[in-house]
Structure 1
């Protein structure tokens, strides 16, 4: 089969021929129908030698149809359209028992890695999923339109749901970065919270997208952003700030614009850190670095998509075009999410 692999540190991913995998006991093989690209992939490919075992098939956002079952598998049937829940854990610890495999305490110890982030990923013609519990039925949802929801929808949803107590009617939420995750985050905020949504970005095109998907206000992410947010909130600041970038300048905007007793969610992996305490963040403010989301939250996200409350702006690529899609992702010239269709 063909696959997109990261093979050499510092090099671009390559399209290669590798053996088609066979499912072992308890495993499910999918014929991939769609695979999403993510900034996390770029982050992985920026790490030094030894961070991941190479070559590695990329793609932690995956959807497909069930193609073959390993021995002992029940609960899915060949031909069923499914999405992959990528935050694989041990399945038995306290976090996993409540569906929060994204916070599995034993995954690192046991060498369990997500597809595309250590295990072979979805940027291939076929994908092995380790357990049927990591599959969620897609039903009539278009896999190309839905696949990015497994991360770019689930991660914002997880961050927003944990902040809903701060976002009643009349509150303000700031979304920093209106790209792949941010434009979905805006829609989720509009769908499940009572907040006025202010979107920030450095790109006029992405600010236009933010307005199209429901942001009440869209502002340039520059030196004037904090003053504008303070003015729009009567000097109080935003009850919640969701930073989908995570670099030094965006974290400073988050710190300076959050209200007392508010919450900052650092979702983006831009590499910066935010000091917190009495002489940094406002009194009572909390800072959180959420990771992915739970399986039940993925079911919720797909439900929002099925109802029409959220959608993903996508650009479609073939497997052969995947390296070019990664270049555009790195350059920031994609509108929404890149989806590869084998």
Structure 2
């Protein structure tokens, strides 16, 4: 079968012929419906190497950590799956027995540093191929929902959903304000999740006019970047600041914008992995405000995300590519020329 492979550090992926995998005990073989091209993949082949300090990502392996597919076969000990049924894949793979893993939070596995890979498509062969094997417990049923359009939900919706769920205590009140920084794939879905789960006024900001237009159509009040950006955001809140900030960039300037915009007792949730640093001062930081980060989400969160998708509350913006065009999709992603999530469709 064909697969998009990361063969070495700081090397652009290649499309190669590899053996079709067979499901082992406790695993399911999926015929891949779709696999999203995520910007973290670009970090893998453009920025990361042995010095990055993240274990379990050493090449070679097949990319694709946002994956959906149809059941093709099952391994020993697996029951309850019908061939042809559609599922979404939960990507993180932990040890399976620590406190985090038994709660479905394998993304925060206590033994992650000792594991051979971080996830499906992150050290372990992923879904950017014709077939992929996954642990049976990592499959979330899609029912009759379109599995190709659903593929990005595994990260582009799961990640903002988890971050927003953690901030709900700040937002579940009258007159709450939420700020979304960065309106790419995750930010656009964050606007939709915030609208579905809270009554907060959603403020959104980005440097791309078309991204802000789309966010406005989804119910956000938009603020353009540039001089006076934080002041304009605070003005929308009556001067007090926003109750929760979701930074889907994570660069030093966006984190600083979050700090300048947050209210007393507010929460800053850094989700983007641009590697920004924080400057903190007691006298300029709003009292009892919190800055934290989050990574992906739990398998229970993914079940919630799928229910929201099936109910029409969230809709990923998707641009479909054949497996032949997968490398071109990564070039477009790397060059910032995509306006939607690239989803590779191996069996188009």
Is the TM value for this pair above 0.5? yes
Q: CA RMSD in A?
A: 1.4
Tell me what 1:38 maps to.
Answer: 38
Contact kept, 8 Å, 2:120 with 2:127, in 1: the verdict is: yes
Shift of 1:112: 4.2
Shift of 1:33: 0.5
Shift of 1:67: 0.8
Contact kept, 8 Å, 2:94 with 2:115, in 1: the verdict is: no
Structure 1 residue ranges (4+ consecutive) displaced by more than 6 angstroms after TM superposition: none
Contact kept, 8 Å, 1:183 with 1:336, in 2: the verdict is: no
Distance 1:127 1:321, change over 3 A: same
Tell me what 2:97 maps to.
Answer: 92
> 1: CA distance between counterparts of 2:199 and 2:284?
28
Shift of 1:277: 5.3
> Over residues 95-140 of structure 1, what are the superposed CA-to-partner deviations in whole Å (9 max), with x where a residue is unaligned?
12222122111132233420111100100001011x2110110101
Partner residue of 1:213 out of 196, 214, 218:
218
Distance 1:276 1:95, change over 3 A: farther
> 2: CA distance between counterparts of 1:323 and 1:76?
33
Partner residue of 2:234 out of 217, 230, 233:
230
Could you tell me which runs of 5 or more consecutive residues in structure 1 were left unpaired when the two chains were aligned: none
Partner residue of 1:301 out of 300, 305, 314:
305
> Over residues 159-181 of structure 1, what are the superposed CA-to-partner deviations in whole Å (9 max), with x where a residue is unaligned?
00110110123111000011110
Tell me what 2:183 maps to.
Answer: 178
Which residues in structure 2 correspond to 1:251-330 (within 5 Å)?
251-276=255-280, 278-279=282-283, 281-330=285-334
Partner residue of 2:196 out of 191, 194, 205:
191
> 2: CA distance between counterparts of 1:209 and 1:65?
32
Tell me what 2:80 maps to.
Answer: 75
> 2: CA distance between counterparts of 1:276 and 1:96?
33
> 2: CA distance between counterparts of 1:33 and 1:133?
19
> 2: CA distance between counterparts of 1:227 and 1:60?
38
Shift of 1:158: 0.2
> Over residues 212-264 of structure 1, what are the superposed CA-to-partner deviations in whole Å (9 max), with x where a residue is unaligned?
2221x111122221010111111101111100011111111111111111000
Shift of 1:48: 4.3
Contact kept, 8 Å, 1:255 with 1:280, in 2: the verdict is: no
Tell me what 2:14 maps to.
Answer: 14
Shift of 1:42: 1.1
Partner residue of 2:124 out of 102, 116, 119:
119
1:250 and 2:286 correspond: no
Distance 1:228 1:8, change over 3 A: same
Q: Is 231-240 or 76-85 further displaced after alignment?
A: 76-85
> 2: CA distance between counterparts of 1:21 and 1:160?
36
Distance 1:280 1:320, change over 3 A: farther
Tell me what 1:136 maps to.
Answer: 140
TM-score (norm 2): 0.94
Tell me what 2:161 maps to.
Answer: 157
Task: Give the number of equivalent residue pairs.
Answer: 340
Tell me what 1:145 maps to.
Answer: 149
Tell me what 2:340 maps to.
Answer: 336
Tell me what 1:2 maps to.
Answer: 2
Partner residue of 2:61 out of 56, 60, 68:
56
> 1: CA distance between counterparts of 2:170 and 2:49?
42
Shift of 1:279: 4.4
Could you tell me which runs of 5 or more consecutive residues in structure 2 were left unpaired when the two chains were aligned: none
Distance 1:95 1:9, change over 3 A: closer
